A and B are shown apart, each in its own frame.
Chain A
Amino acid sequence: MSVEVPTLASLQAQGKKAAVVFWVGCAGSFDDRAKKITKAFVKILNHTQTSFAVLGTEESCTGDPAKRAGNEFLFQMQALQNISTLDSYGVTKIVTTCPHCFNTLKNEYPELGGHYKVMHHTQFLKSLIKEGSLKVEGGSYKGKRITYHDPCYLGRANKIFEAPRDLIKKLDAELVEMKACKTKGLCCGAGGAQMFKDAEEGDKEINIERTEQALDTQAEIIAAACPFCNTMMTDGIKNKKQEDEVKIMDVAELIANANNL
């Protein structure tokens, strides 16, 4: 199925506006696994006839990895340029599939002059259901055992624990929790720019520890809501040679699949 993805520039050329901007993020644009999540989310947006647009080639890294790595200068360079782009289109509302983009846009851009209503895609999907434009039934996920991994920048940092869980419950799936979840959720190991470097010396990789906790739940699917967590958990599952038994899926992919999109 092909997808409709207007850019803000193309809409503006036609004198049109979008109700919400989908901030795709670098992982969502370039990482092979994350691109699938991006596509699944867009399919839902198309299916629900949501008025949206992307920035396309005008989007640039939010600066989050630079900031967490300690390069405040580079972060602000990125942020101020992005704010200038967003403001030139008069953007007021943003949705993103990446908790890191979400956190930075929502919490750190305002002090630099960028004020937007920012939503994570799990919150956005929940609102689509509430409005009635999206219907979700279990379909192939009915009764499946699913565990959910809280991304640090969605959960602890922004206290969004329920939106993704509510979506999973809508699938009539059996949601099982890991021993460390919600405020106590264990990091996947990617945050704080760790994604881009080797770990310091230790006796274990963090993603392995987390994958073990997930496998302990005997779930068939590990649901994630962050492209980086997805990568880390996928690597963990491969390391444990469980990739045939257990799947790592973004919540958006679950919803899209359940609707046969």
Chain B
Amino acid sequence: MGYLPNFIFLCLLIFGGGFFTRNILRIKRNILLGKEAGRNDQKSERWKHMVRVALGQSKMGVKPVAAALHLVVYIGFILINIELLEIILDGLLGTHRLFAPLLGSIYDFLIGSFEILALLVLIAVIFFWTRRNLVKIERFWKSEMKGWPKRDADYILYFEVVLMLLFLSMNATDALLQQQAAESYIKAGSFPVSQFLTPLFEGLGLEALILLERSFWWAHITGIIIFLNYLYYSKHLHILLAFPNTFYANLDSQGKFSIDTDIKREVMLMLFPEKAATEPESSSPPDKFGASDVFDLKWTQLMNAYSCTECGRCTEVCPANQTGKKLSPRKIMMDTRDRLEEVGININVNKGVFEDDQKQLLNDYISPEELWACTSCNACVEACPVAIDPLSIIMDMRQYLVMEQSAAPQELNAMMGNIENNGAPWPFSNQDRLQWINEK
């Protein structure tokens, strides 16, 4: 056999890594279809925000039980990656438990803790599954969660179970082989959890045991590589994107909506032509106000869409959604991602250029009815554990409806007409502004 396993392993790594890199580059390309966002300021504040919200998961605490279990899975994910390093090196070099002699008793401690973590992850996953499928928490069963989003959420839980069981079975068979002093199975590690699995494998011959141990080992690493590549298709992309997403989040007060500087120049020209001359000329005059498709959004809004965990905390607190309106901020994010993916595939197929497909985010995905139901209350923004801002997309799309299509609801047109004509949203004369003084 010689170096054949090493070679196969190398191929697996190159193939898995290559596919993953290709997907990441595609996501990056798609995100950068968005417009400049001007979020390169306040670097130190941004780092702090990222550490607090992404690493520290500060926004998860609102639901303490879910927060604790999510933390277990998250720490499990990170720590078990340390083990992954050893697995990769073993695979490439043809060694077995390479780190054991180097780390001595620390190694035993590490393996023991990984096992306990694996058990905790299993418990957490069972809890998550129960919550989703038996308790049927409402936010997991809204209309936008039908089909793929629902399956995606379950698949990932099954994935975790399989990976953890493979890891523990691998250790269980390894421990038996160590007991039998099989060649190259050095005595290392402690197995507080997998010891309960060993009875399953007792009584097997040496060869069968080795075959099983190797199978578990290969299945485990292959599973991890598949998992890595599955991310791209899943809401689980957040485990990577939560970091840049919180870094580039809006750090201003939530009530401050972005000001369009191109419009400012035009308004200045109308009102104060003498002062407008000092305004910086914009490089390219806007071809369109507001957003009707993903190209009109900022790149940070597009990154938001890829970062969405589909947890529905935003929709759960949305006053419009709570009272039965069509609007769901989570759906706004999912639609944006779906449309962006569609555009991305279009670009792939057409060798790097987007061919008009007669579709757009507005109407084909998000209806005006949803957009007009929003009270701009910011509850969704506040609730999001990864600092996503669905409201900004809603506002940009409203801007398109009003400024490009004059398609506001009739009553709002009347309100705006009043502001234009008499400086108040109601039809009162501005001359009467002080009437209240004399009223009782």
Binding site for B on A (CB under 8 A): 3, 5, 7, 24, 26, 28-31, 35, 38-39, 54, 56-57, 59-61, 63, 65-74, 76-78, 80-81, 84, 103, 106-108, 111-112, 152-153, 156-159, 180, 183-187, 189-206, 208-210
Contacts and interface: CB of A to CB of B under 8 A. Distances in A.
A225 B394 CA distance: 26
10 contacts: A26-B426, A35-B436, A35-B439, A70-B408, A152-B375, A156-B382, A180-B317, A186-B379, A193-B412, A202-B324
B252 interface: yes
Contact of B403 (A72, A184, A204): A72
B379 A187 contact: yes
Interface stretch (B199-207, B257-265, B351-359): B257-265
- Listed residue (A31, A78, A200) with the most chain B CB atoms within 10 angstroms of its CB: A200
Contacts of B254: 156-158
Contact of A190 (B290, B375, B401): B375
Give me the 7 closest cross-chain CB pairs, A-B, nearest first: A157-B255, A192-B376, A203-B324, A70-B398, A60-B423, A202-B324, A107-B256
B271 A74 contact: no
B195 to A, nearest CB: 46
Contacts of B289: 72-73
B52 to A, nearest CB: 15
B325 A68 contact: no
Given A29-B436, A157-B253, A68 B379 contact: no
Contacts of A65: 415-416, 419, 425
Contact of A202 (B62, B323, B376): B323
Interface of B: 62, 252-257, 259-260, 263-264, 266-268, 270-272, 289-290, 317, 319-320, 322-327, 369, 372-379, 382-383, 395, 398-403, 408-409, 411-412, 414-416, 419-420, 423-426, 428, 430-437, 439
Contact of B271 (A54, A81, A190): A81
A204 B320 CA distance: 9
Given A69-B416, A191-B376, A80 B268 contact: yes
Contacts of A192: 374-377
Given A200-B373, A205-B323, A70 B425 contact: no
A3 B438 CA distance: 9
A87 to B, nearest CB: 11
Contacts, number: 224
Nearest to B368: A200
B320 A56 contact: no
A76 B263 contact: yes
Contacts of A180: 317
A84 to B, nearest CB: 7
A157 B378 contact: yes
A70 B379 contact: no
Contact of B419 (A24, A61, A195, A198): A61
A158 B408 contact: no
Contacts of A35: 436, 439
A7 B433 CA distance: 11
Contacts of A205: 323
Contact of B433 (A59, A71, A107): A59
Nearest to A195: B425
Contacts of B375: 152, 187, 189-192, 194, 206
A198 B409 CA distance: 9
B437 A70 contact: no
B405 to A, nearest CB: 10
A56 B431 CA distance: 8
A200 B419 contact: no
B399 A70 contact: yes
B257 A69 contact: no
- Listed residue (B383, B430, B436) with the most chain A CB atoms within 10 angstroms of its CB: B436
B426 A183 contact: no
Contact of A26 (B263, B267, B425): B425
A197 B266 contact: no
Contacts of B326: 200-202
A56 B434 contact: yes
B320 A202 contact: yes
Given A158-B255, A200-B373, A206-B320, A57 B433 contact: yes
A74 to B, nearest CB: 6
Given A69-B416, A77-B267, A183-B382, A199 B433 contact: no
